[in-house]
Amino acid sequence: MATVTTAIKAEARDLNFFYSNGARALKGISMPLYENKITALIGPSGCGKSTFLRCFNRMHDLYPGNKYQGEIVMHPDNTNVLDSGVDPIEVRMRISMVFQKPNPFPKSIYENVAYGLRVRGENNKRIMDDKVEEALKGAALWNEVKDRLHDLAFNLSGGQQQRLCIARALATDPEIMLFDEPTSALDPIATANIEELMVELRSKLTILVVTHNMQQAARVSDYTAYMYLGELIEYDDTDKIFTNPGRKETEDYITGKFG
Partner 1 sequence: MATQAMQAPVQLTISPRLAKNIRRNVKERIIELILMMAALVAVATTFAIVGVLLYESLSFFKTVSVIEFFTDTQWTPLFEDAHYGIMPLVSGTLTTSAIALAVAVPIGTISAIFLSEFASHKTREIIKPILELLVGVPTVVFGYFALFFVTPLLQSIYPDLPSFNMLGAGIVMGIMIIPYIASMSEDAMRAVPMSMREGSYAMGATRFQTAIKVVTPAAISGIVAAYILAISRAVGETMVVAIAAGQQPNLTFNPLDSAATITAYIVQVAMGDLPHGSIGYQSIFAAGLVLMAMTLSFNIFGHWVRKKYRESY
Q: Which is nearer to partner 1, 13 or 101 (CB)?
A: 101
State the minimum distance, in angstroms, from the CB of residue 110 to partner 1: 11
Q: Which is nearer to partner 1, 169 or 218 (CB)?
A: 169
State the minimum distance, in angstroms, from the CB of residue 2 to partner 1: 33
State the minimum distance, in angstroms, from the CB of residue 236 to partner 1: 29
Q: Which is nearer to partner 1, 155 or 157 (CB)?
A: 155
Where does this chain bind partner 1 (CB under 8 A)? 57, 59, 62, 64, 89-90, 92-93, 96-97, 99, 101, 103-108, 111, 115-116, 118-120, 152, 165, 168-169, 172
176-180, strands of its sheet edge to edge: 95-98, 176-180, 206-210, 38-42, 223-228, 231-237
State the minimum distance, in angstroms, from the CB of residue 57 to partner 1: 6
Q: Which is nearer to partner 1, 103 or 157 (CB)?
A: 103
State the minimum distance, in angstroms, from the CB of residue 67 to partner 1: 18
CA distances from 94 to 136, 159, 194 (A): 19, 25, 21
Q: Which is nearer to partner 1, 165 or 218 (CB)?
A: 165
